[in-house]
Structure 1
């Protein structure tokens, strides 16, 4: 009996230490990301030129979306790791926000690629929805698509009659909400459809811009930069798709490592969800010369001391280099 008590005590102590380590890794990581996003959004707010350009508006929208996605993901992570249980009616909005913002990212990447396509092929007569004062229409449509499919998914499953959505406490995990086979099949089909369509859009825009670059005699530099930008969106899409490798990596790791199942889940969560979401907007932002210069001045707290003539200005050409 004493040995059993000691084993139980050691297991509890190990789990508590593991929880502390995971929290100490995730929270600072998220805080660094949030700090970078706040600085970038401050740059957008203090430089009117950015808000008059469709590409920067879409990028600011992507920053806000990825921040919401990481925030909801971290909240769900803390609730699950702390084994906090509450009613399904409070859990669904968090899961809906996390799923919708996750699906939002590939749609934003496709939209940003199409924006580059429109900017290169129609530089003088840009279609109305792609102008900076009308781009909000496309953004609202993206949000509508992102919320519609998760809502359908949550309402199409069969509910357990023993579970009261208003009072029965459960762990806020997708497996407790989307447990029926039809929901799993629907989610897989929607994810495949989303990423297939986005991949086709990015490939199409890349090829069209590449062909247009060969025809252009002037402003080839801008077209080349736009082509590299679309290629970068393809890389960002690959980062997003890492989240779908979770079941595969779990099957590979389980037979070869002596980790606990929750430790493997944390490794996958940190490596294939947090890090890609952290890198995707920051790579795009720091690769932009204008944003990089403004970010450096803001980060060094020198932006208010430089003369107006040397403050960051929006370049006429594409600032992706």
Structure 2
């Protein structure tokens, strides 16, 4: 009962801080960035799934999985931001379910982006055996495992909170992942370990693959030109990885600040709002456009589909 009162007071203070600084207007850039992503994501997914050749390629299956996870995250994030901005109270159980699915989708995207780097390394390191190592059927099983792995811990926490909650139908003034996870005192260490260790393992794996890729290909002359395809690809993927990982590290910082009483509530609200409304959605807006520029087969398929659509339109007219 005491925890429920504490959460209620905190959410009310959070709403007052949002109103005082007019941070509810951050839903505008969130909406714009989300719409920009939704203009491109379905198009790229259609290109991948309508092309039999692309559906057989591991890298494009990884791209499709990333885009799918991003779209799910964007929908849930935008719904949460709009509800918070409109001060619409949400049942506790619905909020926790949104939190679990959002965390699962975010983690799935991070893991899949990491696998994309590993896939590139495998293709360069073992070109003759690459298709035997990662056939489409095995890739499908790996992606299913990624979704399960991403969802296990968030939904385990959801069940733990559901069991320990006295009134699951109680409504909350704001629905935030930070508040939901910040009050799981019995497993706070596990939450820090889950986010930090996952981010650390992915970062180390990505750095290892890139270093090994450079060592394997440095004698082939693909790095000599300042604007070589290898350098541009590395730059694009590096920027994208930075955009994907930065919000996760900021969220780890948020969890740490949430436990400290000497930190102003306004500071917590500002950091959380910027991270939730800008940092977390930016990579998902850039990703489809960068993927479309990076993969020639994908851009070629897109141009073919547009050309076919134009021809059908001319025939119809």
Structure 1 residue 279 and structure 2 residue 286: aligned?
yes
Any conservation in 2 of the 1:206–1:231 contact (CA below 8 Å)?
no
Quick check: 1:172 aligned with 2:175? yes
Given candidates 206, 209, 219, the residue that maps to 2:210 is 206
Alignment equivalent of 1:147, drawn from 110, 135, 151? 151
Q: Does 1:70 align with 2:77?
A: no
Q: Contact between 1:113 and 1:205, CA under 8 Å: does it hold in 2?
A: yes
Residue aligning to 1:38: 42
CA distance in 2, matches of 1:184, 1:279: 33
Check conservation: 1:63, 1:281, Cα contact below 8 A: yes
Distance of 1:69 and 1:192 partners within structure 2: 20
Q: How does 1:87-236 map to 2 (within 5 A)?
A: 87-126=91-130, 128=132, 130-156=134-160, 163-165=166-168, 167-170=169-172, 171-178=174-181, 179-214=183-218, 229=233, 232-236=236-240
Match of 2:90, SS? strand
Q: Paired residue for 2:63? A: 59
Shift of 1:116: 1.2
Give the TM-score, by structure 2 length. 0.73
In structure 2, the partner of 1:48 is 52
Query: SS state of the match for residue 112, structure 1?
Result: helix
Contact 2:27 2:81 in 1 (8 A): no
Change (3 A) 1:50 1:153: same
Question: What is the aligned partner in structure 2 of residue 319 from structure 1?
Answer: none
Q: 1:157, 1:183 within 8 Å by CA — same for their partners in 2?
A: no
Greater helix percent: which structure?
2
RMSD between superposed Cα atoms in Å: 3.7
Distance 2:161 2:244 in 1: 26
Residues 11-50 of structure 1, C-alpha deviation per residue, up to 9 Å, x if partnerless?
A: x9x959x588544443333222111111111212332211
Give the superposition deviation at 1:74. 0.7
Choose 86-95 or 69-78, whichever is displaced more. 86-95
Q: Larger Rg: 1 or 2?
A: 1
User: Counterpart of 1:245?
Assistant: 250
Offset at 1:72? 1.0
Instruction: Show the counterpart of 2:85.
Output: 81
Q: Does 1:302 align with 2:301?
A: no
Q: Is the contact made by 2:73 and 2:106 (CA closer than 8 Å) also made in structure 1?
A: yes
- TM-score normalised to the size of structure 1? 0.73
Question: Structure 2 stretches of 5 or more lacking a match?
Answer: 1-15, 258-265, 313-317
Aligned-partner Cα distance in 1 for 2:123–2:56: 14
Unaligned 5+ runs, structure 1: 1-11, 252-258, 308-321
